[in-house]
Structure 1
Amino acid sequence: MKLNRKRAAAIATGAALTFIVGGVAFAYWSTSGTGTGSATTGTVNPVKINATGTAVSGLYPGAPARNVSGNFDNPNAGTVYVNQVTVAVAPGWSKQADGTKAACTAADFTITQPSATAHEIASGTGVDAWGPATIAMNNLPTNQDNCKNVTVDLVFSSN
């Protein structure tokens, strides 16, 4: 009978160990948690808007409009989105060689804006294209002699 008791004790010990090990393997505590983290973004450098092609020349009162077009210098590592290039006579631009006549100003010219670029511009120099915009000299009912032989400063911007 001692042998059977030892055998029963061994079986009981094995069963208890199996229960304990099984309980450890499948037991867990449930909980919830929170945390924080962060990410940073880079910066973007402005693109340079260039005029390309032949310089605009031959403007005179009532002459046909001349095209102005160009490309971009994008110094960024990746693409940038350019929606619209805008062309304008430089703010405050004025020429008045003869003080007895009206100054030549932005009002002497009409600029038609180019169609929207509306896409991403690749990184690099002289990339992509915009335009054409047009510039024409208005035929005004006033003396426009101060517009003879002048260089009209144009500025380009984008959004």
Structure 2
Amino acid sequence: MSKVAGRKKRIIITTAALVAIGGGAAFAYWTATGTGTGQASAGQTVAFKVASTPATGDALTPGGPTQSASFTVKNENTGTQILANVTAKVANADGSAWVAVPGCSAADFAVGTPDITKGQISAGTTVSGTVSIQMVNRDANQNACQNVTVPLFFEAS
């Protein structure tokens, strides 16, 4: 019996030693830290593209009817942009003051507030709107404004 007890004792001791050695190896590791840098390039704002059609309606006369002009605003950026505001006024294509002829100017006309849905516009998307224009009745001779073509200037931001 002592041979069996001795043999069991050796097996137990050998197993315990192997577990201790193997278990210690299982918990061995190294730690390390590191740093690095990188970069990405952000795009920039691309101006909205605004286009309009000629105003329609009865001829403009002092204090008379209004005309309505349709316009579109297109997001030409590669990402979404916010359309916060659209303004319209009587002005040259570059936004400078318009005078048709002496005695007829932008002051002879009133442009309404553009009607358009504002907010996020996805890349490449176009939204449509309208604006009204009317000839004001000034306490002055407005004969110089007869038969003029009144330019509208739009600004979208």
Same fold (TM over 0.5): yes
Gaps of 5+ in 2: none
TM (norm. structure 2) is 0.73
| 1:80 positional shift | 2.7
- In structure 2, what is the equivalent of residue 70 of structure 1? 71
- In structure 2, what is the equivalent of residue 99 of structure 1? none
TM (norm. structure 1) is 0.72
The percentage of aligned residue pairs carrying the same residue is 40
Gaps of 5+ in 1: 97-101
Where does structure 1 differ by over 6 angstroms across 4 or more consecutive aligned residues? 1-7, 29-33
Answer yes or no: is the 8 Å Cα contact 2:48–2:75 preserved in 1: yes
Take 1:116 and 1:67, find their aligned partners in 2: how far apart are those partners?
A: 13
| Deviates further, 114-123 or 79-88 | 114-123
- In structure 2, what is the equivalent of residue 156 of structure 1? 154
Take 2:149 and 2:31, find their aligned partners in 1: how far apart are those partners?
A: 78
Take 2:35 and 2:9, find their aligned partners in 1: how far apart are those partners?
A: 50
| 1:28 positional shift | 4.9
Count matched residues: 151
Answer yes or no: is the 8 Å Cα contact 1:108–1:140 preserved in 2: yes
Question: Secondary structure of 2:61's partner?
Answer: coil
1:1-159 alignment to 2 at 5 Å? 11-28=12-29, 36-52=37-53, 54-56=54-56, 58-90=59-91, 91-96=96-101, 102-124=102-124, 127-131=126-130, 133-159=131-157
| 1:64 positional shift | 1.5
Take 2:49 and 2:39, find their aligned partners in 1: how far apart are those partners?
A: 32
Take 1:42 and 1:15, find their aligned partners in 2: how far apart are those partners?
A: 65
Give the alignment's Cα RMSD to 1 decimal. Answer: 3.2
Answer yes or no: is the 8 Å Cα contact 1:83–1:117 preserved in 2: no
Answer yes or no: is the 8 Å Cα contact 2:116–2:128 preserved in 1: no
